[in-house]
Amino acid sequence: MSELLASREAQAEDVSAALNIPYEYAPALFVFREGLAEFIQRHATELRSDSGYRNFIRLGAMFWKKRLEEAEADILKADDLTEEGVVEIEDEEWEWTPDAVANAVEGVVRRCVHLIRRARWFCLISESSLVWESGCKEKSDRNFLAFHRGKLVEKGILNDGEDTPVPSGYQRSTLLRQQSFDVATYDRMRVVTTEIRRVLSEGRDVALCLRPNTLLKNTSLKRFLQWI
């Protein structure tokens, strides 16, 4: 990003692409330059290392953690509000400033790293076994699904005492898993992730086996899914 806009030939279209916003809403080039300089100054310590990729991942995780903390604080604040405590905020005309640009760059990094993390998660669960508690209170059965190369290869019911099966393709490398992906596989893993969230939100037990001796259950899964 910085290399692209250091060029004198950089145009407003480049700023629009860098911030992933429509051209007509992009800040002026000189404002973007100042905002990018502010972003670099804000995170000078984190950017000191030689590894650009690791810095990128580290910064994205830091921004995501901040977002989670702010969201939790907003929930607590909302719980404390009474009718008398609600304050109406008047709309103000938006204007790009270097500070706003720096915040926008942080948002871009946060979202990009989130997508990387999400893709890694999908690769993980493309070779997995999933077991979850039946929604029927009268039954103690557990539903079972097994995935290989991102496709459903087995499903059934596990009785009490039966362990979560180890996925057959757990030894496949990340590269091989990536090569198995297409749009349909990506969407399938997205749906599986959404369903895991739903079942967990209903208070039912879930277990996800990724390899021998690696079994993610309720608490661990909820912690993982906060970042996905």
Cβ–Cβ under 8 Å, residues 144 and 129: yes
The pLDDT of residue 76: 62
Residue 120 lies in a domain: no
140 pLDDT above the threshold of 70: no
Residue ranges making up the domain that contains 207: 126-225
Cβ–Cβ under 8 Å, residues 36 and 101: yes
Whole-angstrom distance, CA of residue 192 vs CA of residue 200: 12
Cβ–Cβ under 8 Å, residues 111 and 121: no
Domains identified in the chain, total number: 2
Do both 175 and 214 map to the same domain? yes
pTM: 0.82
pLDDT tens figures, 142-174: 899 999 999 999 999 988 778 899 999 999 999
Residue 198 lies in a domain: yes
The pLDDT of residue 16: 86
Integer angstrom CA distances of residue 113 from 14, 52, 57, 190, 227: 21, 13, 6, 17, 10
Number of H helices, E strands in the chain: 8, 5
Do both 109 and 131 map to the same domain? no
Q: Which position has the higher pLDDT, 17 or 1?
A: 17
Whole-angstrom distance, CA of residue 121 vs CA of residue 199: 18
The DSSP letter of residue 139 is -
Relative to beta strand 151-158, strand 206-211 is unpaired
Do both 8 and 100 map to the same domain? yes
